[in-house]
Structure 1
């Protein structure tokens, strides 16, 4: 008798989580480059073949933790209320992320999050994988802009590139402030002020620089 679809999906999620948890634990303890895929598979009690079925590349074992955010900008634009501009919707979403200390904004005090970002930023292979992550985020956001606001293709691509770059720059700044000893609560007012400034520059087309 075959397994029910719901049971199979639950097993897949558990296996996915077990592999991910084992990988992150080993990477944070020993370093990304010092841990092999075989060691991760052994710790997760799966075969290498099974591991690669869930995570096609070693870097995906880390970056997948941000996978939901890869298309977040596009989802925000597509789901924005009538009469709300894409830029206003993205600004509100980032500010809300700061308020709830969403790790993707860099404003999280959790030691595990600090360690994870530190590992990513100090590992060339992971930095390169994050560039692919950002490129994919730009692509999905550009498509959403084209679909919902009749934005010409080049304009949509240019706008998406700027929006993703601004959000990543703001997040990196927050990560560095917290790594320097500032708490998320102490940093929050400055993070909000910086975000407001960044989105104002986007809204005005960088006119102050001309």
Structure 2
């Protein structure tokens, strides 16, 4: 993960189970992030200063930087918590499960849960973030570097570690194919949401497209890197 905000912005985060100090920290971070996204969406990323965000969130500028070391982190940090997800899915898959099957099943489950990481989510804040990344060159470049280079490097390393033959080229090609598949599907879902489709309406087709896409990869990779029972 390129940036650690120290909190999870996901909707399922159970704050009540945490100590008071930790709850306050997380809620402050969420308030800063949501304030920043609202301002960026209203005025554009380059037209909003960190000082303006701090004032709107009723915190100091230093507090903003304590949570988000750079202005780009205010948009990208929650997304980048998913950078290591493909490698983790491969690492934690059940015995006998191929890397392709593990990543396919994980992606299908995430789609069904309308996980923003799949692009299939029509929550307004999520759409604001996606729109910002698509229209802001600095954010688009960072997304490409993170979800392309960094995520692929982590996944390739995990595949190589799991491969009994320790074939570096195969691990590199497999990692590239698997992440390209996820990225293609996610980008398509994002564009549908930005065009105004409802996530619930798009779900059946998104699931079908995901199954077809991973099937194409599976034909080439087969049960490569299947964990032994």
Partner residue in 2 for 1:68? 81
1:12-39 Cα deviation digits (max 9, x unpaired): 4344323222211211222111101221
Partner residue in 2 for 1:148? 162
What's the offset of the Cα at 1:9? 4.4
Q: 1:44 to 1:197 in 2, by over 3 A?
A: same
What's the offset of the Cα at 1:68? 2.5
CA RMSD of aligned residues (A): 2.0
Q: 1:179 to 1:20 in 2, by over 3 A?
A: closer
Q: Matches of residues 86-101 of structure 1 in structure 2 within 5 Å?
A: 86-101=99-114
> Higher helix share goes to which structure?
1
Secondary structure at the residue paired with 2:30? Answer: helix
Q: Is the 8 A contact 2:116 2:126 kept in 1?
A: yes
Q: Which of 32, 52, 57 is matched with 2:70 structurally?
A: 57
Name which structure has the greater RCO, CA cutoff 8 Å, separation 6+.
2
Partner residue in 2 for 1:131? 144
What's the offset of the Cα at 1:87? 0.9
What's the offset of the Cα at 1:42? 2.4
Q: Matches of residues 165-180 of structure 1 in structure 2 within 5 Å?
A: 165-180=180-195
Q: Matches of residues 14-33 of structure 1 in structure 2 within 5 Å?
A: 14-33=27-46
Partner residue in 1 for 2:206? 191
Q: 2 CA distance for matches of 1:152 and 1:203?
A: 18
Partner residue in 2 for 1:85? 98
TM-score computed with the length of structure 2 as normaliser: 0.79
User: Structure 1 unaligned runs (5+)?
Assistant: 1-5
Q: 2 CA distance for matches of 1:123 and 1:192?
A: 29
Partner residue in 2 for 1:40? 53
Partner residue in 1 for 2:15? none
Q: 1:35 to 1:203 in 2, by over 3 A?
A: same
Q: 1:118 to 1:11 in 2, by over 3 A?
A: same
User: Structure 2 unaligned runs (5+)?
Assistant: 1-18, 222-229
